[in-house]
Every structure is written in structure tokens, then in C-alpha cells.
Amino acid sequence: MQVLKFGGTSVASAENIEKSCAIVRAALARGPVVMVVSALGGTTDALIGAGRAAASGDYRYRDALAQLQQRHVAAAQALLPPAAQPDITDVLTRGFSELLQLCDGIFSLGELSDRTLDRLMSYGELLSSQLVREALGARTAAVWADARQLIRTNARFGAAEVNVAVTRAQVQAFKSAHPGEVWVVPGFIAADDQGNTTTLGRGGSDYTAALLAAALDADVLEIWTDVSGMMTADPRLVSRARPIAGISYQEAMELSHFGAKVLYSPTIQPVMERGIPLWIKNTFAPADYGTLVEVAPPPSSEVVRGLSSIGNLSLLNLEGSGMVGIPGFSKRLFEALARERINVVLITQSSSEYSICVGVAAADVPGAQAAVDEEFAPEIASGRIAPLRPENGLAIVALVGENMKNHPGISGRLFGALGQNGVNIRAIAQGSSERNISTVIRAADVRKAINVLHEAFFEPAYKQVNLYVLGPGNVGGRLLAQLAKQQQHLQQQLGLQVRVVAIANRRHCIVDENGLDLAAWPAALAAAGPCTLEEFTELIVSRNLRNSILVDVTANPAAADYYADLLAKSVAVVACNKVAASSAYANYARLKALAQDFNTRFLFETNVGAGLPIIGTLNDLTSSGDVVRRMEAVLSGTLNFVFNNYDGSRPFAEVVRQAQAEGYTEPDPRLDLSGTDVARKILILAREAGHPLEMSDVQIESFLPASCLEGDVEAFYEQLAVHEAHFRALYDAATAEGKRLKFVARFNDGAAAVGLQAVLPSHDVYELRGKDNIVLFYTDRYAEQPLVVKGAGAGAEVTAAGVFADIIRAARL
């Protein structure tokens, strides 16, 4: 005997019913079949909606019922030739007129009891099963078996408990009366001792099928649904979830109990007891293997079998010094909850015994609070125990798998993965079976958490990274182009799926959670609505995507003000913007500390020498125990360009203008010419070398006459022209001695200075050409000959490449 159950989607339309019937016919070739069906997809919800509307005096329940009737009639007409339609048309007409009467009654009473609701809901399965029997019966003889005469329950309407012995006897009796016939049975519904209709709980058709399989000692139970098996995670939350081929009964029970909707959790017990294999199969892809639930599934290399989650959870905390070391408190707590029929989903107690924490459905909180506060009224009055404190808006995320047993490091990976994404764990529970590790987190973090865990446990070679790019200007634009070009390579070689989720300039912002089209962003951004910096950063927090990175390619001081908040949410910050790293030391130190505390990254390699690996090299030196004693550097692409190109044949001002036109300078060229930009860079290097310097500690020896820095940019250029003789004199004096002018930054024994220097050919920086930068590190290990980093230190393409490298560094944390 085979029991095949078809869920709501599998019988949602005539077309789907045909598919389900074809599967039954194929199974008949292997042996007798019992077919259990759900209501047409969405019907149960619609019936509940109609009942509630009626109870609240809203007459629109009539429209809802009319629509449902229309759906059923349309399916019948599509499934059956006209001559075969009268019987089912009668059934449907009668059924819907009873439903209308029932709802009219609810409407006039203004009340919907659990018992009436069960009757109301039962029509979904009653009608679908008769419709399916007609469809199947057109070609294959089949008998309709009313589940209310097969499955006996108590009178707990809404989620009735089954009397297994009576059920078994009734099922066997029906079998004797209908030997060899195919049965079509409504799922979900049953009857109590008085013959009242009851239901087995939402999703209960799976359970009906399992009860029948057990009562018939079936060879197999097949659950036909709309996915290809039980998956590693809820496919609605994790797009890369995949079917689990083999799973044990216990694992399947844990997963379904913790929210894997694909299987109603009570389903497993009856078949497990009798060792009946349970297949989960896809009606819409019957050739797919699906999931086989059995006693001993083939061993899997993966430690975790699946992930699942339950929302709408609240934690109840009972705590107080009056509990320590006194037996009986937990008993009283659980008894009080049991009296209210409140289901405890999870329990934790620290060994201090100072508090006990239980997880319950949010809807149970008021009842639980009243019951527990009443139970402990004397202790609360005397202050030995605090009144019960509920925390709402929570959810459980659980890891399930037999292999987790005795396998160290799982919780570490779990906590590490969540921690890196700023997901705070409110409570943890692990039974000694080690088959389930449950964590309680904010409901708003579930999607992120499940995805992060799925990557950590099922896709170690894959990681999705979500970028928020601020400032798609010269450098930002190149960065986006480089990202577009490398996306495939990153995915294939590094397992990184790098997506740009949002791009913002000063005024507008575009967002797409699935990743923006990097070929089309300029037009999209031009057409986008207004967006402030604050809105943009709020977006990063509210979208709450995993592995998020803010990429700041602006020079905007206001942008840097948001770093701290983002780092504290475990959002990494990659800044081309130098403002933060060169701001007050306390702020710089705080940002670095936040990154460390919240397991994320604050990276700014391009603050010094564009794409050159200067900060990275310095970090490698210091983290391996070397000590940087002295640094000497030429760090301004602009000043290099200017002094390499100025020989008195063209005015100094004109050469500076050319540097700006060619994109070497900061947006405001005075920052370069005044030496401020170089001072910021040596300050950052000194800090990274471990010295808590402030900008005011860096000595700036300016070569500009004071008047050059007094007005705006145009006034600056005018003043440069006015002082042409001054620049010419500097050049001539150097040339006369066979020297070249270089703007050099120096760090020595904790002190930093920047200034124009005339250097001899023997000096390391003499030959520096074009826009090149150079840094010489003198350290304990590189004491005689410095470690030298040299190369192009300006330009949009190399700067973008440096930002790109930081992004990859942050992504691979």
C-alpha cells in the first residue's frame, strides 16, 4: 500500500489536479494507493477570512465565498466532460450553500467559536477531495473516503489530538469494506466522539496521510508538494537552498518542528514508529529525487543537515535571588504554563540558577504572564522574584543535524558567522542530543542570519557581499566599471558574489537588493529621486543585508560622520575619503576599535599613495613584530607633477592648473599645494605605525606665500601668478646646486613633518617621475636599507583598484 498526499498547490487548479492524478496513476502500476488531498491552495485562509469577516459584521464574506465557489466550479468544468459534471456540480452547490448558511449564522451571532471554525475550514478539504475523486474517477475507479469516519480525535478544536487505536480500527474496517480500491481522502479533518468535525492543525493534511499510512502499515508515505524535497533552508528566505537527499526521521522532525513548513511536524511520529519510509516529492518536477526520510540515511559529509526558523517568538524571563539553590521553581513555572496550555518552545537556564528563560509564541505572552505572576505572587510580593519580563519581536534560528554530535567547533562557526554580521544572540539552547542548536535573535535579523549561516555551513566556497557605493565620480565610476568587469572572476575564483546594492551621489540614490545593473547605473541614477546622505546610510541599516560594506569614494567630511554607526552594526567601511582617518586621534582610534569589537573592517588603503600597498605593508610589518622607526615619503601626486613639470618655461600657476585638469589634485587643489594633504597622509602612516599623533603635531613647512591661501580657488590661482618670481627662485636655487625639488614627508622617532626639499641625485627620491609616490620604511628589520614601496600614487584607475582591493579584503574577513 502506498499513501500519497498532495498539498494545496498540487491541487490548486485543474491543470495541477491533472498532474497529481497522473502521479497517482503511475503509482498504481506499483500497487494500491490511498490519495490524501489538501484544499485548493489558499482555500483554508480564504475560509478563515470569510468566517472572521462574518463574525465582525462585515458582509463581504459573501463575495469571498462566491469567488471560492467560482474557482471550484471552474476547476470542475475544466477537469470533466459536461456529461460527467452534474454530480460534482451538485456537491459544490450544496457545499457552498451550507457554507453560506454557516457564515450567515456567524454573522448574526457575531461570534466565531473554535468548533464552528473547524466546521468552516473542513469544507476546503471536503470539496477538493470530492472534486479530485471525480477527476481521477473519470479514468480510474476510486472511492471517496470521508476522513471524519476514519480519523477519531478529542474535541480540542483547531488542533485536535488523535485517538490512534480507534483510528486504526476505523481505517482497517474501511479497507475491508473496499478491498483493492483507490481511496481519495480529505486531509486535515477528522471527527470527535460526538461526530463533530475537528481539524488537525494548520498544514495537517500531511498528518492525515501519515496516520493512514501507519494504520494501513503502508510501504511508503509520499508527500507531494511544490518544492523538490526538504531543503537546506526555507527557499523563500535563502535563494541558494537545495534539497536534502536523505535525512533521518529525527532530523526531519527537528527541522519541521523549527519551522520547515514543507512538512507538518506531527507527521513524522506515526511513520517513524512503524519504520515507514517518507518521501517528499515535487508534483511539478516528479523526476527530481526529492527527500527520503528514513531510519538510517546515507552518511553525509556535511555536519549540519538543515537550517530553519520560527518567528513570532517571545522570551519570558523569570529571575530573582529567591530561586538560587531552591528546588521546585522550574516545576512551578512549567506547571503554571501547562495549566494555560502554553507550549514552551525553548528553555535556557544559566548554572547560577538566578534566572530561567523560556521561549513561547508571542500570542501566548499575556496568558503566560498572568499565570506565572499568579503562581509566584508570594515571592513577587516579598521581592524574592521579579515579575515575569517578556521580550517580544524575536525568532529562533536552529541548526539541525545528527552529525553535529561530538563535532567541535560548530557553535564557534555559528557565533562567528552571526557576530560578523552584527546579529546579536539573545539566548541559546542545545539539547544533549546535540541534534539541534537553537539561537534566539531579533526577528528582523532572521533573513540575514539564515543566509549567513547557509553560506557558512553549506557553501563554504561562496559568500555574497553587498556594496553601498557613495560617490560614483571619477574614482567611483572607475571602481564600478572594474567591479562589473571582475564580477564573474570573483565568483568563480574567490567564491565571492559581489553585488552593488545601492549607488548614491550628492543628490540621488538608486537601490536594488538583488544587485544593480552595472552597465545601466548612470542613466538610472540621473533619473532617480532625491536622497540625502542620512537616508542613504539609514538604507544600509534598514535593508540589513549580510556582509554589507559602505564604500565611501567621496571627499565629503559629512560622510565620515556616519562610519561609527555603521561599524557598530557590523557594516564594513572602505574609505577612499581621508577625513576619518586623519580626524582627531580619538575618533580614528574609536573607529578602529569599533571595527574590531563588531568583527568588521575599517579600511582606507587609498588614503595614502592611491592603490599602492603602503598601509597594507605597514600593517604587515607591525603585526609581524617589526617596529617602524623612520619613514620618508613623497606622497603627493600633484606636487610631484607640479615640480617635475615646472622649469620656469611656463608659469607655476599654469602647471598647477594642468595638474588639476588631469585629475591629480584633490577637488580643492589648495589642500595639495599647502601641504595639508601630505600632512594628513604622514599622520595616517604614523598612526598606523602605532603613534597617537594629532594633525597639529605634524609640522607643515609651507613653500607658498601666505596670501595664496587667503581667498577662494580662483584667488589662489591669481596669487600663484602674482608670486611667479618666488617659485622661479626656488627652482633656480635647487637647479644651481644640481638638486631637484621634492615635497617630502618625514616621520622620525614619533615626530612628523612635511616640506619642500631640494634633493641631490644620491637621494632615493631624486629620480621619482610623473605622478609616482614613494615610501621608505626604516624598521628594526629593515635598518640599513629601507623597505621601499614605489609606483603611481594618483589617478582614478589605480585609486579605484586600491578601493577594490580593500573591498575584497573586507569581504574575505
Judged by the rule CB under 6 A, the positions of this chain that interact with ligand ASP are 7-8, 38-39, 44, 124, 187-188, 202-206
Q: How far is CA 494 from the centre of its chain?
A: 20
Please say which residue, 134 or 206, places its beta carbon nearer to ligand ADP.
206
Alpha helices in 355-461 (DSSP H): 365-375, 377-381, 410-420, 446-458
Please say which residue, 204 or 472, places its beta carbon nearer to ligand ASP.
204
Question: Closest approach of Cβ 487 to ligand ADP, in Å?
Answer: 29
260 binds, among ligand ASP, ligand ADP, Mg ion, none (CB under 5 to 8 A by kind): ligand ADP
Among 2, 3, 4, 8, binds ligand ADP (CB under 6 A): 8
- Contact residues for 806 (Cβ-Cβ < 8 A; gap 6+): 574, 603, 604, 605, 606
Site track for Mg ion across 1-40, x = CB under 5 A: ------x---------------------------------
According to the binding rule CB under 6 A, does residue 231 interact with ligand ADP?
yes
Query: Which of 281, 578, 681, 790 is flagged as catalytic?
Result: 681
Neighbours of 200 (CB within 10 A): 27
Question: How many residues at the interface with ligand ADP, by CB under 6 A?
Answer: 20
Q: DSSP readout, 209-275? A: HHHHHHHTT-SEEEEEESSSSSBSS-TTT-TT--B-SEEEHHHHHHHHHTT-TTS-GGGHHHHHHTT
- Determine contact, residues 265/203, Cβ cutoff 8 Å: no
d(CA 654, CA 691): 39
Question: Closest approach of Cβ 290 to ligand ADP, in Å?
Answer: 10
Question: Quick one: angle between helices 614-623 and 676-688, nearest 10?
Answer: 20
Residue nearest ligand ASP by beta-carbon distance: 205
Using CB under 6 A as the binding rule, the residues of this chain from 175 to 214 that contact ligand ADP are 203
Please say which residue, 7 or 306, places its beta carbon nearer to Mg ion.
7
d(CA 554, CA 535): 16
202 binds, among ligand ADP, ligand ASP, Mg ion, none (CB under 5 to 8 A by kind): ligand ASP
Please say which residue, 7 or 471, places its beta carbon nearer to ligand ADP.
7
The sign one gets for the Cα dihedral 780, 786, 788, 793 is positive
| Strand ranges for 266-345 from DSSP E | 278-282, 291-294, 306-319
- Give the max Cα distance, the chain: 118
Question: Closest approach of Cβ 279 to ligand ASP, in Å?
Answer: 17
According to the binding rule CB under 6 A, does residue 691 interact with ligand ADP?
no
The reply to whether 261 belongs to the active site is no
227 binds, among ligand ADP, ligand ASP, Mg ion, none (CB under 5 to 8 A by kind): ligand ADP
Please say which residue, 204 or 259, places its beta carbon nearer to ligand ASP.
204
- Residue 144, SS3? strand
Question: Closest approach of Cβ 7 to ligand ADP, in Å?
Answer: 2
Nine-digit cell string for 625:
613584530
Contact segment (CB under 6 A) with ligand ADP among 5-13, 150-158, 313-321, 739-747 equals 5-13
d(CA 417, CA 330): 33
Please say which residue, 118 or 772, places its beta carbon nearer to ligand ASP.
118
Site track for ligand ADP across 292-311, x = CB under 6 A: --------------x-x---
According to the binding rule CB under 5 A, does residue 203 interact with Mg ion?
yes
According to the binding rule CB under 6 A, does residue 235 interact with ligand ADP?
yes
Question: Closest approach of Cβ 170 to ligand ASP, in Å?
Answer: 20
Q: Which CA distances in Å does 427 have to 256, 365, 383, 420? A: 21, 17, 25, 18
According to the binding rule CB under 6 A, does residue 7 interact with ligand ADP?
yes
- Determine contact, residues 40/11, Cβ cutoff 8 Å: yes
Please say which residue, 206 or 379, places its beta carbon nearer to ligand ASP.
206
Please say which residue, 7 or 243, places its beta carbon nearer to Mg ion.
7
d(CA 91, CA 754): 93
Question: Closest approach of Cβ 203 to ligand ADP, in Å?
Answer: 5
Among 2, 4, 9, 410, binds ligand ADP (CB under 6 A): 9
Segment (H or E) for 116: helix 114-137
- Determine contact, residues 220/236, Cβ cutoff 8 Å: no
Contact footprint for ligand ADP (CB under 6 A): 7-10, 38, 203, 225-227, 230-231, 233-236, 260-262, 306, 308
Contact footprint for Mg ion (CB under 5 A): 7, 203
- Provide the annotated active-site residues: 681
